[in-house]
Amino acid sequence: MPADPNPQVSAAGEDPAARSGPRHVAIIMDGNGRWAQARGRPRLFGHHAGARRVREVVECCPGLGVDYLTIFAFSTENWKRTQTEVAGLMSLFRRYISKEMNALAEKSVRVRFIGDRVRLDAKLISLMDKLERKTEGNCGTQLTIALNYGGRDEVARATKRLARDVADGRLNPEDIDEETLPRYLDTHVLPDPDLVIRTSGEARISNFLLWQSAYAEYEFIDTLWPDFSAEEMERLCSSFGRRERRFGAVKT
Ligand code: FPP
């Protein structure tokens, strides 16, 4: 059976209950296309600008006490875009990984990918594996990149694995509770997100971390992703610290 989800010790080894900011921030990076169109440029121009933002946001995490950052790079629904855009995005992901590999490793960032790899090309998968292996010993920011990821698809794939364990006698159906399924999710080694940010003014979650975000706080902001900055991330993390999270309980 996969490892336990929601590790209680932060990447920095401290007690997460003592912090006021979010330990895990997840971001739906939306608005690249509109940002490019507003400049009379093709959509891919916006995706390239968006990729440059990723570095700044990853780098600001340690200063904000954010141990885990999860970013939505490509959804299971994004294949419906034009062939030119999909191919351009895939090429951008390959370039990003090759270009950022050393910088991420040197900054002690640990990178993981979530999502279904079956539709991705062999070259991209090999770069993803390489980056995961190269950074696996790092204990700085835990960066998770969701690539060909969909929350429903993830739950379906997890259920398939769980059903196999039941069929093979490794799991008793009577023992299944809400702690069981997360052990089969792609995110099984990550804590649940505390804060989910979506840029570009759309107030929807678009199939992102459906199970994991049950108690997350949400921020829907108007900024288009290529304009998102470390300052804005800092503001959102500070305002998270002022929220009262009750997880269904009442304040005593
Ligand atoms: C949504 O904007 C964005 C995407 C589908 C792609 C996200 C990719 C990046 C930010 C670039 C690179 C990421 C990495 C990890 C290198 P949209 O195209 O839907 O924008 P729109 O809603 O304005 O059309």
Residue with the nearest Cα to atom 15 of ligand 1?
73
Residue 51 has pLDDT above 80, yes or no: yes
Average pLDDT of the chain? 93
**Please, which pLDDT band fits residue 252 given cuts at 50, 70 and 90?**
low
Closest CA to 134 of 106, 114, 92: 106
- What local confidence, expressed as pLDDT, does residue 248 receive? 75
Residue 133 has pLDDT above 70, yes or no: yes
**Which residues, listed in sequence order, are joined to residue 69 by a DSSP beta bridge?**
25, 143
- What local confidence, expressed as pLDDT, does residue 118 receive? 96
Instruction: Spot the catalytic one: 30, 67, 186, 194.
Output: 30
- What local confidence, expressed as pLDDT, does residue 245 receive? 72
Does the CB atom of residue 78 touch ligand 1 within 6 A?
A: yes
Residue 199 has pLDDT above 50, yes or no: yes
**Which residues, listed in sequence order, are joined to residue 144 by a DSSP beta bridge?**
70, 112
Does the CB atom of residue 81 touch ligand 1 within 6 A?
A: no
**Please, which pLDDT band fits residue 14 given cuts at 50, 70 and 90?**
low
- What local confidence, expressed as pLDDT, does residue 242 receive? 83
Does the CB atom of residue 97 touch ligand 1 within 6 A?
A: no
- Mutate which of 32, 132, 197 for ligand 1 pocket (most atoms within 8 A of beta carbon): 32
Helix (H) or strand (E) holding 198: strand 195-198
- What local confidence, expressed as pLDDT, does residue 5 receive? 43
DSSP assignment string, 202-229: ----TTSSTTTTTT-EEEE--S-GGG--
Helix (H) or strand (E) holding 162: helix 151-167
For residue 120, how far is its CA from the centre of ligand 1 (angstroms)? 17
Based on the residue annotation, tell me whether 30 is a catalytic residue of this protein. Answer: yes
Mean pLDDT of 92-117: 98
Residue with the nearest Cα to atom 2 of ligand 1?
30
Does the CB atom of residue 96 touch ligand 1 within 6 A?
A: yes
Residue 42 has pLDDT above 80, yes or no: yes
**Which residues, listed in sequence order, are joined to residue 147 by a DSSP beta bridge?**
74
Based on the residue annotation, tell me whether 78 is a catalytic residue of this protein. Answer: yes
Residue 125 has pLDDT above 90, yes or no: yes
Ligand 1 atom with the smallest distance to the CA of 47 is 11
Does the CB atom of residue 86 touch ligand 1 within 6 A?
A: no
CA separation, residue 103 to residues 55, 99, 111, 164, 202 (Å): 9, 8, 12, 40, 32
What's CA 206's distance to the chain center, in Å? Answer: 13
Residues 6+ apart with CB under 8 A from 177: none
As given in the structure block, the two tokens for residue 137 are 């010993």
Predicted structure pTM score = 0.92
CB-based burial of residue 206 (10 Å sphere; 0-12 exposed, 13-18 middle, 19+ buried)?
middle
Does the CB atom of residue 25 touch ligand 1 within 6 A?
A: no
